[in-house]
Amino acid sequence: MKRGRLTKEEQIRRIKLLLIFIYTFRYATRKQLEMFIQVVMNLSFTRWLIDYSFSEGFISAYYEPLFKTKIYYLTYKGKEMICDQAMVEHYYFEKSHAGLNTFIHHNNMIETFMFLKSHLDIKEWVCEWDIRRGKSSGEKIPDGLIILKDGMNVALEVETRYKKLGILRNFVKRYRYDIEKISRYHCVLVVASSRFNYDGLRMRMYNLAPEFCSKAFILADLGMLELGMCFYQGKLIHLEEAIGLLKMGGQSHGQAL
């Protein structure tokens, strides 16, 4: 944090940024809050902002013994502080949101968020539970929606488990409808939690629908994403390059695998 006394306006701005981050992902661990403050807000000292937000009643926390960590979430006062956020009145937190499987997926989502913030010019990040409101049960809801500053809509899927072939076939079919029929998204970014999962997804998706998957799906695992790399159009290229190819209609170049 910079030396010198903060203005009231700057103090409020920083608190709001932290609260919006928690709102977006429903909850966060202290380590994740510290990472957000350092990486996204570009502040060196993290303790004051978290502790002040807690002491002022904007956030609350409980200790989760299963993961041996504190879980921070918004209070009613915190929701009021960011009342200009769409759908914030529907925000709520329950301890079941931090169950074993959801906690692992949640952590991968936040890792993905941090990595993408470093490589893409993101205008807005919309979370799954926000997208789901008002949608029918049959609609394909992504894990998140990334809106880039150039107007591109990128559906995000973070995969922590192996998908059976039938489920994967339906996955591709639904996104084909969303992209080709109703133009809901420009593409889908699929992030696998491991290289093993990534290799399986890449091989099976390209076998199911090679032409469509080549132009509509950007694939990566967390290690690749940290470096800003991805698999697109059958080649390993930089994420920014893949987005550029989408804008130009998908001219192919890069390093073949």
pLDDT over threshold 50, residue 247: yes
> ∠ at Cα 185 (151, 154), nearest 5°?
65
Average predicted confidence (pLDDT) for the chain: 90
Percent of the chain scoring above 70 in pLDDT: 95
pLDDT over threshold 60, residue 253: no
- Cα separation of 142 and 131, whole Å? 8
pLDDT score of 90: 87
Q: Bridge partners of 59? A: 74
Q: In what order do the strands lie in the sheet with 229-232?
A: 122-127, 144-148, 153-159, 187-192, 217-221, 229-232, 235-238, 255-256
Strand boundaries in the chain, DSSP class E: 28-29, 59-64, 69-74, 122-127, 144-148, 153-159, 187-192, 217-221, 229-232, 235-238, 255-256
Domains assigned to the chain: 1-98 (1.10.10.10), 100-257 (3.40.91)
- Cα separation of 257 and 62, whole Å? 46
pLDDT score of 257: 44
pLDDT score of 119: 94
Q: What is the mean pLDDT of residues 88-113?
A: 90
Provide the pLDDT confidence category of residue 4 given band limits of 50, 70 and 90: low
CA atoms within 13 A on the CB side of 143: 21
